[in-house]
Structure 1
Amino acid sequence: MQIQRSSINFIERPFLEPLHSAFGTIPKFESIILSLESGAGTGRAEVTNTLFPDLDFPALALTLEQQIIPLLANRSVSDTESLRKLLGKWSRNPVIYALAEMAWFDLQAAEKGVPLVKVLGGEPVSQQVFTSIDEPPLDEDGYPEANKFLDQVRNFYDSGYVHLEFKVRPGWDIAVIRAVRQENPDSSFHLDFEGALGVTNYDTLFQLRDFFPFMMEQPFPADELVEDASFQGMLTCALCLDESVTSPGIVAAALKLGSAKTVKINPMRAGGFEKAKEILALCREAGVDCWISSPLSTGVGARSNLAFSSLEGFSGPFEYYDLSRFFTPEHLEGLELPPVLTLDEEKTLRIE
């Protein structure tokens, strides 16, 4: 397959409200989209700071522009092995390689005139979605506005969502989840800790466990697989790994330890579609459920993740974000890149 041209689009947009995470505050959205073009079409892949909040995006954009784009222009790439050889030392950078590999798979789909899902080995289906709700902005006294959070929860359930994710961290935990469960006794939700807790927080975890979350996601830092295994043994629900899922080797170790009953896979974080497929195969063999991890992105990243979620082995709903929640109409322009994902009244997306 001949790549005639390659380019990047570095996107920066302010959020309506800064995003809060266990890694700190994210004041603006940063995204880099790599495009590979042939005579038959264009393949794209995206990396965002909602997935890698510690990554220096201006530096990455400069590296891609100066080092990677020249390597990919006017080159024939027949398979991923030839792509690795073409990238040379840069193939050892998991983000750079994943961008190139995922864009190359998308270009294959464009050349063949088929959906990306077909190239990846999946089938077009309709996928139920969930969305995530974070800690609300602080009031004038410096405290999170819990009532606004509960209003959001109520509105999402009332609008048809059957499952929600709540971000939880020290200080924003027991009281608010208790209130959610009291108001929604039969509703499904899971808790995402983003690795913010440690062994000193076991009492908090046990109290949250008693509110019957569907699962508890990444309670401990990414490298604490032994601690995960210990805590999973104390749970009736699943412990889910997300930030830990960076390579097949790490996941193999987690499965051997019994660190989780559910694994969230993000192809970009895993190092590309092929590495993500290896992880999916390991989990299927071990009988571990898989969900797709799909943080806030433009339509490019969401479409890649949605296509990958069609593969056999995924059991959970798709992680979906309505961009109008996070940006003004002015700053939303250019983010809903084609093909635009449209959510129907039953909160499902069509995977094409």
Structure 2
Amino acid sequence: MPRIEGFEAYRMTMPHGRRPESIVVRVCDQDGAVGWGEVAASDACWADIEERVGPALLDLDWELPEEVVDVGGLGGHPAASAIDIACWDLWCRRQGTPLAHALGGTRTSIVAGARLTAEPMLDVLLTRVNRLVSAGYARVTLAVQPGWDIEPVRAVRQAFPALALQADAGEAYTEEAAHLSALEALDAYGLLAIERPFTGADLAAHARLQRAIETPVCLDPADLDTVDAAIAIGAGRMLGLRISRLGGLTAARGAHDRALASGWDAWCGGAAGFGIGQAAAVALAALPGCDLPSDVSETPSQTAVVSPPVRANGGVVAVPLTQPGLGHDIDSALVTRLSRNTLRIPA
């Protein structure tokens, strides 16, 4: 039975002031086994790790990684996400099992998608899309917003008629007539999904939109109760699984299982970072219900703390199955070098 006897957290920043920032955590058990996790950094998350989550982990007895968040009373917060990943990694390394297999993954590789931020110049947008298509990405997600939605989607669809195209509305729409008219008009462009059209709490609005259009509405749930409620009322037909938003691999796998059982599609989102979060996202995307291309952002080689770096080759990312845990070696010296704040418990 693992028992956490050492905990470290590193607040890391890309060189030269570039974003993003991450919090990388390292847990160590009584036998010296180590596990690593990562989550996007914020002041609130760092304070939560320092004041609540880190101390709660020490001497915590658990048998399975699924138990850690509940046993420790950690809840579904971003800080818990990093801990959950680290404990899965530690447990898998103890067992000699790849993380993807431990989660129930069945794939040896995943198809990668890519996301583009809003681009007001159509010629620049088309150039950016072409660059991604040429690199082998099978799906491109465009950021849209009220007043800038139909035009960019139409332009990309006309230029790339066979491309799997998705629109991310970033919760920017309401049910006012002009907004609904635009969202319904997007139905004509053969989109893979319209993602996050309304605020995540308004499941009824999502359900009404889904009844009005053929394109799947994709939700970005923050907890399993939301997943259950969304499925119950038909508030969409697709889930985007973001490990940090759901509070860890355990909850993300639970959301996947609900989607699979209900006939919903699913894909995994991997936030930019230093490689550990991306490695966890690849393992999650290996689950049988993640049939759609998943977002796995790449880390610059000079700041990737995982070896080998997480990389797409021709739009495909290999699932590491020859090493236990995350399937990557962690460069602890580079973690230390890129860290601007360090927390050790016990000190």
- TM (normalized to structure 2)? 0.83
Partner of 2:9: 8
Structure 1 CA distance for aligned equivalents of residues 307 and 297 of structure 2 = 16
Structure 2 CA distance for aligned equivalents of residues 124 and 71 of structure 1 = 35
From 44, 47, 56, give the equivalent of 2:36: 44
Structure 1 CA distance for aligned equivalents of residues 258 and 106 of structure 2 = 21
2:21–2:273: 8 Å Cα contact kept in structure 1? no
Partner of 2:259: 283
2:299–2:309: 8 Å Cα contact kept in structure 1? no
Q: After the TM superposition, which residues 80-91 of structure 1 pair with which residues of structure 2 at under 5 Å, given as runs?
A: 80=65, 83-84=68-69, 87-88=72-73, 91=74
Letter in 2 for 1:129: A
Listed one character per residue, the Cα deviations across residues 9-49 of structure 1 (whole Å, up to 9, x for unaligned) are 11233899xxxxxxxxxx83221111112345421121115
From 26, 34, 48, give the equivalent of 1:35: 26
Partner of 1:249: 225
Tell me if 1:337 matches 2:293: no
Tell me if 1:69 matches 2:27: no
Letter in 1 for 2:115: S
1:239–1:262: 8 Å Cα contact kept in structure 2? yes
2:168–2:196: 8 Å Cα contact kept in structure 1? yes
Tell me if 1:347 matches 2:315: yes
Shift in Å, 1:82: 6.1
Letter in 1 for 2:57: L
Structure 1 CA distance for aligned equivalents of residues 195 and 14 of structure 2 = 28
Taking a change above 3 Å as real, the CA distance of residues 336 and 169 of structure 1, as seen in their structure-2 partners, is: farther
2:275–2:299: 8 Å Cα contact kept in structure 1? no
Greater alpha carbon shift after TM alignment, 299-308 vs 178-187: 178-187
> 3-state DSSP class of the match of 1:237?
coil
Partner of 2:92: 109
Shift in Å, 1:76: 4.0
Taking a change above 3 Å as real, the CA distance of residues 63 and 12 of structure 1, as seen in their structure-2 partners, is: same
Structure 1 CA distance for aligned equivalents of residues 66 and 276 of structure 2 = 24
1:248–1:275: 8 Å Cα contact kept in structure 2? yes
Listed one character per residue, the Cα deviations across residues 181-220 of structure 1 (whole Å, up to 9, x for unaligned) are 2212222211111111111201211222222212111111
Structure 2 CA distance for aligned equivalents of residues 62 and 333 of structure 1 = 28
Q: After the TM superposition, which residues 1-352 of structure 1 pair with which residues of structure 2 at under 5 Å, given as runs?
A: 1-13=2-14, 28-38=19-29, 39-48=31-40, 57-73=42-58, 75-80=60-65, 83-84=68-69, 87-88=72-73, 91-92=74-75, 94-136=77-119, 144-200=120-176, 201-242=179-220, 245-324=221-300, 333-344=302-313, 346-352=314-320
Taking a change above 3 Å as real, the CA distance of residues 75 and 207 of structure 1, as seen in their structure-2 partners, is: closer
Structure 1 CA distance for aligned equivalents of residues 255 and 281 of structure 2 = 15
Partner of 2:344: none
Higher RCO (CA < 8 A, seq sep 6+): 2
Greater alpha carbon shift after TM alignment, 6-15 vs 108-117: 6-15
Listed one character per residue, the Cα deviations across residues 252-298 of structure 1 (whole Å, up to 9, x for unaligned) are 11111111111112233222223223222222221111111223232
Structure 2 CA distance for aligned equivalents of residues 60 and 255 of structure 1 = 30
1:47–1:99: 8 Å Cα contact kept in structure 2? yes
Shift in Å, 1:235: 1.4
- TM (normalized to structure 1)? 0.82
> Could you list the runs of 5+ residues in structure 2 that have no partner in the other structure?
321-347
2:241–2:268: 8 Å Cα contact kept in structure 1? yes
> Could you list the runs of 5+ residues in structure 1 that have no partner in the other structure?
17-26, 50-56, 137-143, 325-331
Letter in 2 for 1:343: A
> 3-state DSSP class of the match of 2:34?
strand
Structure 1 CA distance for aligned equivalents of residues 175 and 268 of structure 2 = 27
Shift in Å, 1:319: 0.7
2:140–2:165: 8 Å Cα contact kept in structure 1? yes
2:146–2:172: 8 Å Cα contact kept in structure 1? yes
Percentage of pairs with the same residue: 23
2:267–2:291: 8 Å Cα contact kept in structure 1? yes
Structure 2 CA distance for aligned equivalents of residues 172 and 62 of structure 1 = 38
1:299–1:336: 8 Å Cα contact kept in structure 2? yes
> 3-state DSSP class of the match of 1:44?
strand
Structure 2 CA distance for aligned equivalents of residues 79 and 202 of structure 1 = 46
Structure 2 CA distance for aligned equivalents of residues 241 and 133 of structure 1 = 18
Shift in Å, 1:93: 5.2
Partner of 2:324: none
